[in-house]
Structure 1
Amino acid sequence: MAVISASVRKDRMGPTIADWIVAALGSSADVDLIDLADTLLPDDSLLYPGGGPKSAVADRIDAADAFVFVMPEYNHSYPASLKRLIDWHYAEWRLKPATIVAYGVHGGYPAIEQLRGVLAEFNVVTTRRVIGLPAPWASLDEQQRYAPDDGLSSRLAGCLNELRWWATCWPTHAEPAPSRRRTDLAGLRRTPTRLIKEFWCSTGTCKHHNLLINRVRGAEAWGGHDGAGARRRERRAPAPVFTVGQSD
């Protein structure tokens, strides 16, 4: 699991918050902490659509099965340093799960929503649970470590549990899915409905498991596009039903 600290400023909270996340992961995952302040990318003049020359961290990103993005909010968006890292890689991100921990005066949620849309272009699934930390610099202990209240630590645990679940069921390192067929959920179609229910109940949100189950069933109902028979199946297929989840 790669924990990516996006801030490159001198006086920054990113590494402190990243250390908090690494401690929360403990021994449950092999963690690679990538600090963008120490990451040198090639000159942007060499960048072309879909990537460019291999960067110094390309192998580390490719080796990760899941990502935790730690980032500040700058003007309702995420840092340019993170956008450069994303743009300099392509296949390394594809078909992997990620979660986002943002921070700022008001928690960084606008930056989170901006990043979700960019990651979707790489077929990266972002967890429903994300973390926004309002003014984290006010929650440092005597050793200058981030020490939030138990409620926030519990939210982080739920977020990481969801990320681990996606990492085990999502088809990482798979061949690129065909762009014109609804087969991106092939890995989830092999996941029994019972396991999906168990996951949501184990994380205290069993009321919301219908969202994922309906997505899986909807993908199965659509099937492929193989002639008139398939088109008749599409007309008969019920539209996926989405439920509205409660906010954390």
Structure 2
Amino acid sequence: MATEIWNTGDAYEAYVGRWSRPVAEVFVRWLGLPAGGRWLDAGCGTGALTTAILATADPARLVGLDTSEGFLATARTRVTDPRVTFRTGDMRALPWPAHRFEAVVSGLALNFVPEPARAVAESVRVAARGGTVAAYVWDYAGGMRLIRHFWDAATALDPAAAELDEGRRFPLCRPDRLRELWTDAGLDGVTVLAIGTATTFTGFDDYWRPFLGGQGPAPGYVTSLTQEHRSALRESLRARLPTAADGSIPLTAAAWAVRGTASH
């Protein structure tokens, strides 16, 4: 079975990173936090959420943390604001003392972390009293259409591909599970929000090419296939995707966001 890789920023950006920016902007506006706070972006990836925080929340300090040196290298080239620092680290063992940040947030990362409850507990630990702990994840089971179409086509050709389908692998990416995870962590005022955005591709090549980049479960699966199987999957997708008169492919992406207040 394919190996998941998360280390090449440009390939990730072409795949789903470009679609995460509008979701990040809605997420930060929804939090509505006052300017001047200390923020931690845990699982910052290539910096989409970091950029949205800078543009919308006017933080005093912002730290981006991720396990991938490749993603952090991309983030450092794209985010040069002196208020921001990036460092390597694990969301399950945050390298700060308690009560350090007024906002601890995470974008599109929590479901990929082993022991997500431990990661949330760490977020709560480093949040200041009255601070906000929040995250958002893609709705892989339904609303993230570019990936949903992919796995529907892949499993029709190869039932074993279902083992990699994020919609099946990540039950965390549902509103009830997120609410439960936040509540179990002892956070107050837990609220869940659905966020949607358009993901319109200029044509089939614009949709298909990022799957050849190897970043994440679906592209990793594509790169593991024989040329014949890859071609069959490509043509199955071409036939099933909705196509407008101008050749564009109008899809949508949905995410679930959750927030709560640290009362410790």
TM norm structure 2? 0.29
TM-score by length of 1: 0.30
The structure whose residues are more often strand, as a share, is 2
Higher Cα Rg: structure 1 or 2?
1
> Which protein, 1 or 2, shows the higher relative CO under an 8 Å CA cutoff with sep ≥ 6?
2
